[in-house]
Amino acid sequence: MKYFLAAFFLTLLYACGNPAPDQKQMPLLPELTIAAIHAAYEAGEYTAEDLATAYLARMDSLNGPLNAITYRNPEALADARRLDEEFVATGKLRPLHGIPLLVKDNINTAGLPTTAGALALKDFVAEDDAFIIKRLREAGAIIIAKTNMAEWAFSAMHTESSTFGTTRNPYNLAYVPAGSSGGTAAAIASNLATIGLGTDTGNSIRGPSSHNALVGFRTTLGLISREGIVPLYLRNDVVGPMCRTVADATRMMQAMTGYDPADPITQRGADHANIDYTGSLDLDGLKGARIGVLRELSEADVHPEISALFNQALADMERLGATVVDPVVVPNFAELRKSQWCETFRADLEDFLATYVKNDSIATLEDIVRIGSNNDYARRNVTFSLTKEGRYGDLPEPCGDTYTDARRIAFRDAIERTMDSLELDAIVYPSWNHPPALIDSFEVQYLGDNSQIICPHTGQPGFSVPMGYTTGDLPAGIQFLGRMFSEPTLVKLCYGFEQGTLHRKEPNPK
């Protein structure tokens, strides 16, 4: 620990006392975990203010080429000092006490802009924190900064906003970090804070986590509130952790669960709010597990290097004590997955504008179009939403939530019946079947995104965990799909896999 402490403060002094050095020469803070930070606080080795200062200095040095950070919290150090004073007075640490947190720029954070990457919201500062931000603050987290995102969260492919431009992948700056939570992903992968927060409409937690060697949790729809979040399609939207370890993501998830009257769907998860999810962090989490392989996804136009990593992951699971059931066939899967998307952007966004922005000149989707965008991809999607409404494919079925929409229920029932018949604990597939795309060619290289196919529609939880790297040290992730509210099981499986393979490594940007 003495070596750590010396390295920590050398990093801090180097960062604060030198002009922005070349990125490759900058000493790296260790990839700290919540548990390690709390142990250091208890040992008196450094304070929350020390840690927040070090992360802010690291942002000075590394954020330039990444373009991951949007707004820094000017109260971060004051918040850290208050937490330090509380610890001195009480001798007790809250669950996330003094842990620096990054927040995606579509989540209301009092005192900081919430732009969703769009010109229309570039001056919007929320009066109050979103429900989950309140929960995270109550747990002791320090909001240190907000992160860039794909404008309005439309793009799963890349992260480009009108407010802050393009975010790059820290493992290779020529490549995308995926979207839309690419700012959080790139920043957490580069160790600009301890934990991060993203949102996921179709892919946007799990895809960027896969592309940045992170752990990303898309939880069951209804477990965590979406109040105070700029929506894309609220019927699909989830907010969740993006972290470097399963343990950190689990601790963060646990702090966010809970019923919120402002988001009625959380009534469905009320019975799961007080579970000790950290109790599922079992080193032998794969022992005795039954894992199904959905080859219908994993073999769909798969890149050979991703295929090799995935098959090695299956072999690793068997080595770690799991029974791999390969393949798993979900009856009528190809048909059930069709026509699941519904266009609800106008209604959802206009409700957010009326509830939070309260500005007559920014009240409708037409106002958004009038104000404009610097991003061609976002502009096309917003314009499309002017005239499109309802279910894609123009089918007559109404668009409901995951608990009332007949098509969504049928899809979920088919998957869960298959899992039950085979006594599966989870189904696995690559989070992406192809490596990250080049930034300059992201639309033509957008291939293999598996995250959009099941979870956003069925409401089931999907957790992405690192499974290795393709040529050029570009990360790849494996996804664990569970039954509704099976987060304890997924934590156990993902932790066992993570700890049995240890794929996570720091980026060395090229």
Q: 3-state SS of the chain: helix, strand, coil percent to 5?
A: 40, 15, 45
9 lies in some domain:
no
Element (H, E) at 133: helix 131-138
26 lies in some domain:
no
Identity of residue 289: A
11 lies in some domain:
no
**379 and 253 inside one domain:** no
**Per-residue confidence band for 393, with pLDDT thresholds at 50, 70 and 90:** confident
Place of tokens 């068997």: 318
252 lies in some domain:
yes
- Which of the residues are catalytic? 104, 180, 204
Average pLDDT over all residues of the chain: 94
pLDDT for 510 equals 62
Whether 301 and 336 have beta carbons less than 8 Å apart is answered as: no
Whether 368 and 353 have beta carbons less than 8 Å apart is answered as: no
pLDDT for 508 equals 87
**145 and 231 inside one domain:** yes
Q: What are phi and psi of 493, to 5 degrees?
A: -65, -45
Q: What are phi and psi of 82, to 5 degrees?
A: -65, -40
pLDDT for 389 equals 84
- Residue-wise pLDDT tens digits, 362-386: 999 999 999 999 999 999 999 999 9
CA 26 to chain centre: 27
282 lies in some domain:
no
In percent, the amount of the chain with pLDDT more than 90 equals: 91
Question: The domain spanning residue 205 has which CATH number?
Answer: 3.90.1300.10
**351 and 308 inside one domain:** no
20 lies in some domain:
no
**318 and 416 inside one domain:** yes
Report d(CA 485, CA 268) in Å as an integer: 10
**165 and 225 inside one domain:** yes
134 lies in some domain:
yes
**146 and 39 inside one domain:** yes
- Residue-wise pLDDT tens digits, 456-507: 999 999 999 999 999 999 999 999 999 999 999 999 999 999 999 999 999 9
Rounded average pLDDT over 181-207 = 98
Going by C-alpha positions, the residue among 169, 173, 189, 192 that lies closest to residue 243 is 189
pLDDT for 7 equals 43
503 lies in some domain:
no
**350 and 330 inside one domain:** no
Question: Cα–Cα–Cα angle for 487, 200, 72, nearest 5°?
Answer: 110
State which of 236, 252, 277 marks the end of a domain: 277
Determine if the pTM surpasses 0.85. Answer: yes
State which of 226, 248, 277 marks the end of a domain: 277
Task: Name the domain count of the chain.
Answer: 3
Q: How far is CA 132 from CA 107, 228, 262, 274, 440, in A?
A: 9, 9, 12, 15, 35
Domain region containing 376:
342-391
Report d(CA 504, CA 245) in Å as an integer: 8
- Residue-wise pLDDT tens digits, 92-135: 999 999 999 999 999 999 999 999 999 999 999 999 999 999 99
pLDDT for 397 equals 87
**121 and 237 inside one domain:** yes
**202 and 334 inside one domain:** no
Burial of 122 (0-12, 13-18, 19+ CB in 10 A): middle
- Residue-wise pLDDT tens digits, 243-300: 999 999 999 999 999 999 999 999 999 999 999 999 999 999 999 999 999 999 999 9
**145 and 247 inside one domain:** yes
- Residue-wise pLDDT tens digits, 304-348: 999 999 999 999 999 999 999 999 999 999 999 999 999 999 999
In percent, the amount of the chain with pLDDT more than 70 equals: 94
pLDDT surpassing 70 at residue 5: no
Between 17-26, 70-79, 261-270, 405-414, the lowest mean confidence (pLDDT) is in 17-26
**118 and 203 inside one domain:** yes
**121 and 260 inside one domain:** yes
State which of 227, 254, 277 marks the end of a domain: 277
